Structure 1
Amino acid sequence: MNDLRDFNNARTSEMFIMRHNWWKPYYELTDGQFLYGRLSYNGVFKRYAIIESVEGTFTIKRKSLIGRNMLLNKGEEETIGEMIPSIWKRDVGIQMNNGFEANYLFKKLFSRAYTLTSNSYGDLLEIKQVPFGIKKPFAITFKNETYNTFKFDVPLLTMIGVHFMLYRQAQAAAAGAS
């Protein structure tokens, strides 16, 4: 984890996600020179996600076996937030224990851009799927000018959004295969 850089030292508002490995992929948030966050999966059939940043290691696990809500944990057990996917839409709400609330949503019907919006801060970041991007599947644009002084871990919020985009892609592929 010592190879990750603090996001406050970032000099650009545009980054991308690099995909590594084919059979057991992991994803890294980078600006081309430095790494800011990492997303990987652990367990049989991708049971839970592991996100690494300078702030520490976080896991995303299901709250229950058949429920759709997911818990965001610091480490393995300390719950710091909850994510609630919408039933009939592609939106995902996130509620942190420190009072931060935001929504990951697609602003247009056929959009490939996933936007994190908050009532307090406005649009924070946009995750755009790159067509035919096997090695670089997502481009990240930070919308809010105060992203360096933001009170929460920005690479964590970015990797949560990437996780949900990959999660929705896996659901669509499973629905198309049956």
Structure 2
Amino acid sequence: MEYYRNFDQLRTTGLPVVKHGFWRPWYELTDGQFTYGKLTYTNAFKSCCLLETATGSWNIRRKGLLSRKLVIEQPAGEEIGMVVPQRWCRKIQLSLNKGFTATFFNKKVLSHNYTWVSDQYGDILVVQTKFWSWKRPFIVQIEPEMAKTVPHLPLLALMGINLVLLKQAEAAAVS
């Protein structure tokens, strides 16, 4: 965990996500000089992934084989939260066991910007997708004051990238 820089030391508002590899890609959240987190898929179907940051690591897996719900676990196996996509809506609800809740959605219908919104903190961060950019497919926009006030910001940033990748995989499977 000492490899990653803490989000409290963030000095920029935009963090590009760098994609490494082609057959088994992994994604790195960086500002060009320091690495803030890493997202790695543990199987080919993107149903399990590992999120790593300076504050901890989390395993994300589907609740069941055909379930849309995602379970957030500590590496020891302790379940700390759940991600539930709402039906007939483009919103995704994150609920942690400690009481924190946030919603992930794009505010405009044809927009490629996805936002984490919380009742307590308002707009937390924005995951912006880039067209025709294979090496840097996303930019995570974080306000510097949010890095100091929101306790689960590293989890939200990497979970947002994971959710956009899952949405892209579902859209590709349908077409």
Normalised TM-score (structure 1)? 0.93
C-alpha change, 1:26 and 1:69, in structure 2 (3 Å) is same
- Structure 2, unaligned stretches of length 5 or more? none
1:19 alignment partner in structure 2: 19
Question: What percent identity do the matched residue pairs reach?
Answer: 37
Offset of residue 14 of structure 1: 1.4
**Secondary structure, counterpart of 2:145 in structure 1:** coil
Alignment-derived partner of residue 174 in structure 2: 175
Give 1:14-93 correspondences, 5 Å limit: 14-93=14-93
Counterparts of 1:23 and 1:76, CA distance in 2:
28
Q: How many residue pairs end up in the alignment?
A: 175
Q: CA deviation at 1:174?
A: 0.6
SS of alignment partner, residue 162 of structure 2: helix
Which whole-Å CA distance do the structure 2 matches of 1:80 and 1:141 have between them? 25
Shift of 1:12: 1.2
Runs of 4+ in 1 over 3 A off after TM superposition: none
> CA shift at 1:74, angstroms?
1.1
1:62 maps to a residue whose letter is: R
The alpha-carbon deviation at position 37 of structure 1 amounts to 0.6
CA contact (8 A) 2:125 2:143 kept: yes
Once residues 25 and 76 of structure 2 are traced to their aligned partners in structure 1, the CA distance between those partners, rounded to angstroms, is 21
CA contact (8 A) 2:3 2:54 kept: no
Is the 1:116–1:126 contact (alpha carbons within 8 Å) kept by the matching residues of 2? yes
* 2-structure distance, mates of 1:126, 1:31: 15
Q: CA deviation at 1:76?
A: 4.9
Q: Equivalent residue for 1:151?
A: 151
Structure 1, unpaired ranges of 5+:
none
1:172 aligned counterpart, secondary structure = helix
RMSD: 1.4
C-alpha spacing 1:132/1:76, structure 2 compared with 1 (3 Å): farther
